[in-house]
């Protein structure tokens, strides 16, 4: 069966510090991978998606970047965090063009 792991689960970082959130998928090959942010009281916002190694599409201009160094690994990064980067970050995968997403447990980021 397929599983998705995301870490760290919780992170408290000062403004201006770097960020790295990691996500790996097991049990499938060539998945489509996604990073979402969920702010309190707001819907899920798609940040990045990837259909293959090294292929990254950005949906929203921002202080973040994403990379896919391996088929089943997706990384969300920032060089300098802003207060507005605080939120709940979710990694997800899907197979093909389906809209059925399978999410990780999420990473709660607080920027102080």
Q: Contact positions toward another protein, by CB under 8 A?
A: 6, 32, 34, 41-44, 46, 49, 51, 57, 59, 90, 92, 94, 97-106, 108
Q: How far apart are CB 27 and another protein at their closest, in Å?
A: 16
d(CA 70, CA 67): 9
- Least separation, in Å, of the C-beta of 54 and another protein? 17
Closer residue to another protein in complex, CB, 19/91: 91
Decide whether 14 or 96 has the Cβ nearer to another protein: 96
Minimum CB distance to another protein smaller for 13 or for 102: 102
Q: How far is residue 14 from each of residues 17, 40, 54, 86, 110, measured CA to CA in Å?
A: 6, 20, 29, 11, 8
> Is residue 84 helix, strand or coil?
helix
d(CA 20, CA 23): 10
Instruction: Give the β-pairing of 10-13 and 107-111.
Output: parallel
Cis peptide preceding 8, ω within 30 of 0: yes
Q: Please, what is the minimum distance in Å from the beta carbon of residue 45 to another protein?
A: 8
Work out how close the CB of 77 gets to another protein at its nearest, in angstroms, rounded to a whole number.
20
Q: For another protein, which is the closer residue by CB, 78 or 107?
A: 107
């Amino acid at each position: 069966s397929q599983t998705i792991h995301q870490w760290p689960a919780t992170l408290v970082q000062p403004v201006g510090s770097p960020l790295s959130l990691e996500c790996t998928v097991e049990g499938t090959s060539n998945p489509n991978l996604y990073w979402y942010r969920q702010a309190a009281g707001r819907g899920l916002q798609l940040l990045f998606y990837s259909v293959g190694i090294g292929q990254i599409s950005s949906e929203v201009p921002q202080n973040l970047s994403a990379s896919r160094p391996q088929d089943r690994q997706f990384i969300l990064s920032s060089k300098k965090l802003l207060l507005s980067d605080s939120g709940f970050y979710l990694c997800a995968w899907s197979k093909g063009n389906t809209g059925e997403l399978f999410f990780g447990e999420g990473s709660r980021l607080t920027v102080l």
